[in-house]
A and B are shown apart, each in its own frame.
Chain A
Amino acid sequence: MTLFVHAADIHLDSPLKGLYQDESAPDPEEIRGAARAAFDKLVDLVLSEGAPLLIIAGDLYDGDWKDFSTGLYFASRMRKLAEEGVRVAVVRGNHDAENKMTKSLVMPENVRIFPSRKPETWILEHLNMALHGQSYPRRDVTENLALDYPEPVPGMLNIGILHCLISGAEGHLPYAPCTSDQLAAKGYDYWALGHVHEPAVVRKTPLIVYPGCIQGRHIRETGDKGCALVEREEDGLSVEFVPLDVLRWMALETDASGADSVDRVVSIFGDVFEERIANLDGRVCCVRVRITGCCPVHGRLLADPDTVVANIKAMAAEVSGGRAWIEKVEIRTAPEIDLAQLAESDTPQGELLRYMDEIESCENPFELLNADFSSLKAKLAGTDVSVPEDDAAQLLRDARDILLTMLADMESREERS
Chain B
Amino acid sequence: MKRSLKNFGGYFWLSLACLFACFPVLFMVVTSLKTRAMLYEPARILFEPTLMNYEAAILQYGVTSYLKDSLIVCAINVLICVILGTITGYALHRFTFKRQNLIVAGILSARVFPSIALVIPFYLIGIFLHLLDTYTIIIIVFVTFNLPFSVVMMRGFFANISQDCEEAAMMEGCSRFGALVRVVLPQLKTGIFATAIMSFLTAWNEFTYVLFLTSSKVHMISTAVVFFKTEQGILWGEVSALGVIGVLPVIALCFLTQRYLVRGIV
Are A and B part of the same complex? no
- Chain A residues in the interface with B (C-beta under 8 A): none
Q: Which residues of B contact A (CB under 8 A)?
A: none
